[in-house]
DNA sequence: TTGTACGCGTTATCAG
DNA sequence: CTGATAACGCGTACAA
């Protein structure tokens, strides 16, 4: 009944399994495999689970035109008959056509998406930066994909890989405290994907960076303490492999030295300040025989923890202890007494990084400054004001 | 000079634009277009901007095998010679091969990405939900793309379109206060893309929802005020088209009625509470001839604004005015006196929505509850405690 | 065990 | 103005 497709033999045919619902045969004479499709046994289409999404081809078929015509009509390209265009547009609406961005991305090798990797989400700092960046990117028609490295170098690496695989058009990144090696960032350069660092930056890699004037801000904050009569000022700093921590420490030292204050080694503690650590370090400092009369902390959460410890110990703020933080978290304005702190222009940081990445995406040869240093503001509140009493004061830091 | 490719005519040739740097001609005799490439004018390859990224084909070529073999090797499929596999793997490393997720996505019609649309970023609520969702999704190997609708129905629609175009595998969404029409969400159902609503949900659409017990929480908060001897309790509520606002209002009413308190219409103000609005409404309430002796606000920012106004007016809290908020923002613990408020399990909300969407993505026929109602906690602080003085108290709300 | 050929949905190029 | 056709990079059914 069945004869070989090749040698037309009939006798030497044997069955050889099924292929896609069709019987498969082998001709033993010419050793040739073939299938014979007497009837399409494929199940009714109901089985087909994957929903069909209207494509450009569906429109083309139902209109009897080519897909290129549809594509042109959809994009309002020139050289197209207005009637044809309208017909396509109508049909697209009728068929509920939704362009497939994936296919577009594949062809264009572009995703219209900017990636952002942040180390943590617990302080309001990064969410606020996100707000700023989001605003600019959305306005420019870009999407923002956010990943969180959770202060882990390994997670950061896997994040960058995922970003790479997803072919983001540009990356905004703030490094983890663990990150000392930057090969994973070099890859972006190699691939021509622009990169902007912000806040947690490093010097080892040559890309634009957006930061604040950590040195000057810290300098002024400590000088402000000194002006208020504090003498023995301690510093609760962040991990020293972060440039921000280094800069803030440098500002502290410079102010102390300028005013001839002695810096005792045990009055400087650097490290990752979880709430628990802040409490441990704070207790240590305040239990010291010759305890500091002021503490400059690298962030507000730590500063507030200090204030709470002081209250528990009955140390009065600001008379017996001055406290200054960094970042101006919302709670800092409301705690009593208000926490003197340094306000960072978070939204502006976000807007600037976004603005830069867009410029780089648009034209990879654009010349951008190495670094943008945004200005902070010293917000003077009750926690550090021994001399004058009054309302919150603001000092713009150049 | 130029003759027609077809009819070999010379005289009837006219120029007809350029194609890819080449002159294009039209033969008027035979009405035939053609180009004549006397010299390739294309610029040296240096102009070619697009960098080549190693593909599976590059590996295949340099190894002299087929791309399917490479694909199989890369995915550890069965039926492949271990040596071949190793060779491919080595070559991939050597050539710094990075899989192109876009192409993969296109073929698979799947992106391994969950989308999330939130109405705003200003309160810590949504960032915290994001932390929770992010945690679960990352662990499951999914990416999270976040968009912000900025409380605008139009932006929400364009966000959902972008999500659709990007072929996310599932969507987590919290609606804007303007959203009254839900067609843009129906589309997802039609496309078989699972959806989970959280916080700002609606009843008109039949998808799983994750919320907190707003009614019970509000009821208890108001009852707590009543127990502390407050009589004339006002409510500063959110926009009434939000279910959360309705529920919180309902809780307020129920508690008032249960305890036989009169609800005066002008003591209830509903609306979008920007800081400015909170101030206006707060001033109005506190300037009333027969002003309220307590205010239950729909969020902490509004409650804190009330406290500030009261301070300015010299109204003492909690003696002359009790205040209760909602959400337990960080600042609420630190303001003096501490703000009594209702803590929402933000991380858990995020984790739950993420968990659900993953189940739905995994199996679209999985049966999930209509709604998950998470428990809140009443955090009693100084702003509402007339009777007893002491530390913060917590009440788990069932 | 491996190779061939096609499909995924678009855009761009080029020919008519 | 319109249609064919080749990419884009990968997965996989089918053939050998």
- What is the structure's pLDDT at A22? 35
Partners of B33 in the β-ladder: B26
- What is the structure's pLDDT at B391? 56
Give dist(CA B334, CA A90) in Å, integer.
59
A100 contact B CB<8A: yes
* CA B263 to each of CA B199, B221, B259, B324: distance values in angstroms, whole numbers, following the listed order: 27, 16, 11, 17
- When mean pLDDT is compared across A212-226, A351-365, B341-355, the lowest value belongs to A351-365
- Over residues A251-289, the pLDDT tens digits come to 999 999 999 999 999 999 999 998 899 999 999 999 999
Q: Is the pLDDT of residue A12 over 60?
A: no
Residue A192, SS3 per DSSP: coil
Higher-confidence position of A22 and A342? A342
- Over residues A385-395, the pLDDT tens digits come to 886 555 566 77
Residue at shortest CA–C1' distance from D5: A68
The answer to whether the beta carbons of residues B153 and B168 sit under 8 Å apart is: no
B123 contact A CB<8A: no
- Over residues B330-379, the pLDDT tens digits come to 999 999 899 999 999 999 999 999 999 999 998 877 889 999 999 999 99
Q: Is the pLDDT of residue A295 over 80?
A: yes
* CA B6 to each of CA A244, B15, B18, B112, B266: distance values in angstroms, whole numbers, following the listed order: 72, 16, 19, 53, 88
pLDDT band at A76 (very low <50, low <70, confident <90, very high): confident
Place of tokens 């504090």: A230
pLDDT, mean of residues B110-138 = 91
The answer to whether the beta carbons of residues B296 and B342 sit under 8 Å apart is: no
- What is the structure's pLDDT at B45? 32
pLDDT band at B29 (very low <50, low <70, confident <90, very high): low
Structure tokens at A395: 């000092």
B48 touches strand C (CB under 7 A): no
- What is the structure's pLDDT at B388? 55
Higher-confidence position of A235 and B123? A235
CB within 7 A of strand C (chain A, 20-79): 52-53, 55-57, 67-68, 71, 74-75
Q: Is the pLDDT of residue A324 over 70?
A: yes
- Over residues A90-121, the pLDDT tens digits come to 989 888 888 888 888 888 888 889 999 999 88
Q: Residue window 219-248, chain B: list those with CB within 8 Å of chain A.
A: none
pLDDT band at A46 (very low <50, low <70, confident <90, very high): very low
Residue at shortest CA–C1' distance from C5: B68
Place of tokens 């190495």: A370
A337 contact B CB<8A: no
B53 touches strand D (CB under 7 A): yes
Give dist(CA A307, CA A311) in Å, integer.
6
Give dist(CA A236, CA A332) in Å, integer.
17
Burial profile B156-187: b = 16 or more Cβ within 10 angstroms, e = fewer: bbebbebbbbbbbbbbbbbbbbbbeeeebbeb
Q: Is the pLDDT of residue B395 over 60?
A: yes
pLDDT, mean of residues B206-223 = 97
- What is the structure's pLDDT at A23? 42
- What is the structure's pLDDT at B9? 53
Place of tokens 């509520």: B237
* CA A171 to each of CA A113, A114, A329, B199: distance values in angstroms, whole numbers, following the listed order: 9, 6, 26, 31
- What is the structure's pLDDT at A388? 55
Higher-confidence position of A230 and B76? A230
Edge-to-edge order in the sheet of strand A393-396: A341-343, A377-380, A393-396
Mean pLDDT over each residue of chain B, to the nearest integer:
85
pLDDT, mean of residues A323-342 = 94
Q: Residue window 183-212, chain A: list those with CB within 8 Å of chain B.
A: 187, 190-192
pLDDT, mean of residues A161-184 = 92
- What is the structure's pLDDT at B18? 37
Q: Which residue is closest to A122 within chain B, CA to CA?
A: B128
A106 phi and psi, to 5 degrees? Answer: -60, -45
- Check CB contact under 8 Å for B103 and A106: yes
Q: Is the pLDDT of residue B47 over 80?
A: no
Q: Residue window 132-161, chain A: list those with CB within 8 Å of chain B.
A: 134, 138, 143-148, 161
Residues 6+ apart with CB under 8 A from A396: A375, A377
- What is the structure's pLDDT at B212? 98
Higher-confidence position of A127 and B353? B353
Name the nucleotide nearest B54; use CA and C1': D9
pLDDT band at A78 (very low <50, low <70, confident <90, very high): low
- Pairing mode, strands A268-270 and A233-237: parallel
B100 contact A CB<8A: yes
Report percent pLDDT > 90 for chain A. Answer: 55
The answer to whether the beta carbons of residues A238 and A272 sit under 8 Å apart is: yes
Residue at shortest CA–C1' distance from C9: A103
Give dist(CA B329, CA B127) in Å, integer.
12
Q: Is the pLDDT of residue A32 over 70?
A: no
- What is the structure's pLDDT at A51? 62
- Over residues B60-80, the pLDDT tens digits come to 888 888 888 898 888 877 678
Residue A284, SS3 per DSSP: helix
- The Cα of B316 is separated from the nearest Cα of chain A by a number of Å equal to 16
pLDDT, mean of residues A176-189 = 91
- The Cα of B265 is separated from the nearest Cα of chain A by a number of Å equal to 32
- When mean pLDDT is compared across B164-173, B180-189, B249-258, B380-389, the lowest value belongs to B380-389
- What is the structure's pLDDT at B111? 87
Report percent pLDDT > 90 for chain B. Answer: 55
- The Cα of A270 is separated from the nearest Cα of chain B by a number of Å equal to 25
The answer to whether the beta carbons of residues B220 and B381 sit under 8 Å apart is: no
A112 touches strand C (CB under 7 A): no
Q: Is the pLDDT of residue A362 over 80?
A: yes
Name the nucleotide nearest A67; use CA and C1': D3
- What is the structure's pLDDT at A357? 96
pLDDT, mean of residues B295-302 = 96
B167 contact A CB<8A: yes
- What is the structure's pLDDT at A133? 96
Q: Is the pLDDT of residue A380 over 80?
A: yes
- Rounded to two decimals, the pTM is 0.80
CA-wise closest residue to A259 among A214, A290, A229: A229
Question: Residue B393's CB: how many other CB atoms inside 10 A?
Answer: 13
A73/D9 CA-to-C1' distance in Å: 27
- What is the structure's pLDDT at B84? 86
Mean pLDDT over each residue of chain A, to the nearest integer:
85
pLDDT, mean of residues A306-329 = 96
pLDDT, mean of residues A179-208 = 92
Q: Is the pLDDT of residue B38 over 50?
A: no
Q: Is the pLDDT of residue B133 over 80?
A: yes
- What is the structure's pLDDT at B209? 97
pLDDT, mean of residues B313-318 = 96
């Amino acid at each position: 009944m069945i004869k070989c497709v090749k040698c037309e033999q009939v006798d030497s045919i044997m069955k050889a399994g099924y292929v896609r619902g069709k019987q498969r045969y082998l001709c033993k004479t010419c050793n040739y495999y073939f299938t014979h499709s007497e009837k399409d046994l494929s199940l009714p289409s109901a089985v087909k689970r994957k929903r069909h999404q209207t494509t450009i081809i569906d429109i083309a078929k139902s209109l009897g035109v080519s897909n290129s015509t549809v594509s042109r009509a959809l994009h309002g390209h020139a050289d197209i008959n207005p009637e044809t265009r309208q017909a396509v547009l109508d049909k697209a609406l009728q068929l509920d056509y939704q362009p497939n961005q994936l296919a577009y991305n594949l062809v264009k090798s572009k995703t219209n998406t900017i990636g952002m990797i942040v180390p943590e989400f617990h302080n309001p700092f990064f969410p606020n930066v996100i707000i700023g960046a989001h605003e600019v990117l959305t306005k420019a028609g870009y999407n923002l994909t956010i990943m969180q490295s959770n202060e882990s170098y390994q997670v950061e690496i896997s994040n960058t890989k995922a970003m790479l695989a997803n072919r983001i058009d540009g990356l905004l990144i703030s490094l983890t405290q663990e990150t000392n090696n930057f090969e994973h960032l070099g890859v972006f350069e190699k691939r021509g994907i622009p990169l902007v660092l912000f806040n947690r930056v490093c010097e080892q890699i040559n890309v634009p960076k957006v930061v604040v004037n950590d040195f000057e801000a810290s300098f002024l904050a400590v000088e402000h303490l000194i002006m208020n009569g504090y003498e023995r000022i301690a510093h609760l700093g962040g991990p020293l492999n972060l440039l921000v921590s280094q800069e803030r420490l440098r500002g502290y030292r410079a102010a102390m030295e300028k005013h001839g204050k002695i810096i005792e080694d045990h009055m400087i503690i650097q490290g990752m300040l979880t709430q628990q650590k802040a409490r441990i370090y704070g207790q240590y400092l305040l239990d010291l025989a010759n305890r500091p009369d002021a503490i400059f902390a690298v962030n507000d959460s730590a500063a507030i923890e200090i204030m709470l410890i002081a209250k528990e110990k009955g140390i009065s703020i600001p008379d017996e202890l001055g406290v200054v933080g960094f970042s101006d978290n919302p709670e800092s304005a409301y705690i009593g007494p208000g926490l003197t702190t340094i306000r960072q222009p978070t939204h502006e940081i976000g807007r600037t990084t976004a603005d830069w990445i867009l410029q780089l995406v648009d034209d990879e040869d654009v010349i951008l400054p190495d670094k943008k240093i945004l200005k902070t503001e010293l917000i003077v509140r009750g926690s550090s004001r021994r001399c004058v009493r009054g309302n919150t004061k603001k000092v713009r830091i150049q």
